[in-house]
Amino acid sequence: MKLTVIGCGYLGATHAACMAELGHDVLGVDVDEAKVERLTAGEVPFFEPGLQDILRRNIASGRLSFTTDHRAAAAHASVHFLGVGTPQEPRGHAADLGHVNAAIDALVPVLRGDHLIIGKSTVPVGTATGLAQRIAVLAADGVAVELAWSPEFLREGFAVEDTLTPDRIVVGTDPAGTTSSAVPVIRDIYREILETGVPLIETDWATAELVKVSANAFLATKISFINAISELCEIVGADVSTLADAIGHDARIGRRFLNAGLGFGGGCLPKDIRAFTARADELGAHRTLGFLREVDAINMRRRTAMVDLVSDAVGGDVLGRNIAVLGAAFKPESDDVRDSPALSVAGQLALRGASVTVFDPKALENSRRTYPMLAYASSGADACDRADAVVVATEWAEFVHMSPDELDEVVRAKVIVDGRRCLDPQMWLDAGWQYHAIGGPVTGRRRERHTANAHVVGHAAQTLRG
């Protein structure tokens, strides 16, 4: 099928490449000329395992190209995915729909004939209803444009895998609509995926919009739940990681997303819970999502708790101390530093007078841009040069697996602070290091669990094709 994908950020670029991988003829559209140039040259403007291969392969086969021209998009296809960003408003908690509206405003007036727009961006409930009205005003006479909403659930770092082997596909259509082409079209687009047994959930606009924000709110709540428990564990000397293992064995709870530590960040969970709460407020349901404010507060407390822990670990004050921060991305396998807990901790330590040196395997460039006042090193060992404490802030495999003897001769003091509870404390203690973990003591060998959780990503397409 001929498709376009409007917006070529994390979501859109991945979606465009994966749709081409499924055999469709895809035109990606973005207003950012530099981004379009890079994508056209087969370069992914961000780190996403496996995406570059798929991008290059499909550009070479002629099934994937990029443009800044909405007229070209209108002429290329009658099915258009909308994957632009919905960031937090600059002066509030609501979602900023500026990019969504701008994409509709650019595309709809130039459409001719019958078209289907499939929204994928995360939007507040009610957005599709408003956009349908906007589309009706903008569409030329005789042009029919249907709007469907099919939220995207991909995780950064697993974006290709999540797009090609999703848990489910949700499609919401106009509840007042009499005829809809959206579901049969979506069935055609995803035929190969649906044949593997992936469920297709058909619903109305509002439910589809709510599915996405509810999923993210649930995940954020799960993380803050375990982090709240870890605050108690810290007081009584219990091990929250063992506790998570134990409660996670209950299939109703499940072990995933119960890793206590520095908490959640990134471009989705923090802004999505805020936008969800703001939308509930707008709808008059002021108390309904009040608990998400607490989820947010628990999460933000982790960062200050971590800074306090580092201060304690170096004797009460970080002023004038050298602190190495290993990890800057909001999670491993990503170069994304949006609302990164790691960088927030690094920044707060610097504000308290520490000399902070950061290393991250992929996120250095983005970090430098966001926090230019911090020092950056080209390797973990470099960052640890004469450090009074080493802080593990993102659980990249290379930090989880580093051994104390790599750093013994480099640091000034053998002090390690584990912000992700991902290290094997016994190994560090045996090597003569002081070991501190956010959320209290760690018993048992934690490293094995993180090793078991490590994924090799990027070959989902080949797997799908058998």
Instruction: Say which amino acid occupies 222.
Output: K
Q: DSSP code of 140?
A: P
- Taking the complex as a whole, the smallest distance from the CB of residue 266 to ligand UDX amounts, in Å, to 4
Task: Give the Cα separation of 70 and 72 in Å (integer).
Answer: 5
- Taking the complex as a whole, the smallest distance from the CB of residue 245 to ligand UDX amounts, in Å, to 12
Of 215 and 413, which CB lies nearer to ligand UDX in the complex structure? 215
Q: Is 72 exposed, middle or buried (0-12, 13-18, 19+ CB in 10 A)?
A: middle
Would you tell me which residues interact with ligand UDX (CB under 6 A)?
152-156, 216, 219, 223, 257-259, 261, 263-266, 268-269, 330-331
- Cβ atoms of residues 322 and 412 within 8 Å: yes
Catalytic option among 8, 18, 233, 268: 268
268 belongs to the catalytic site: yes
Q: What 3-state DSSP class applies to 369?
A: helix
Of 259 and 366, which CB lies nearer to ligand UDX in the complex structure? 259
Of 228 and 415, which CB lies nearer to ligand UDX in the complex structure? 228
Of 355 and 394, which CB lies nearer to ligand UDX in the complex structure? 394
Question: How many other CB atoms are found less than 10 A from the CB of residue 176?
Answer: 9
- Taking the complex as a whole, the smallest distance from the CB of residue 107 to ligand UDX amounts, in Å, to 24
Q: Is 268 exposed, middle or buried (0-12, 13-18, 19+ CB in 10 A)?
A: buried
227 Cβ partners below 8 Å, 6+ apart? 260, 261, 263, 298, 299, 301, 302, 439
Task: Give the Cα separation of 212 and 210 in Å (integer).
Answer: 5
Of 425 and 439, which CB lies nearer to ligand UDX in the complex structure? 439
Which candidate, 120, 178, 175, 177, places its Cα nearest to that of 151? 120
Pairing of strands 169-173, 375-376: unpaired
- Taking the complex as a whole, the smallest distance from the CB of residue 196 to ligand UDX amounts, in Å, to 19
CA angle 90, 216, 400 (to 5 degrees): 95
- Taking the complex as a whole, the smallest distance from the CB of residue 450 to ligand UDX amounts, in Å, to 11
Which residues does the annotation mark as catalytic?
Answer: 268
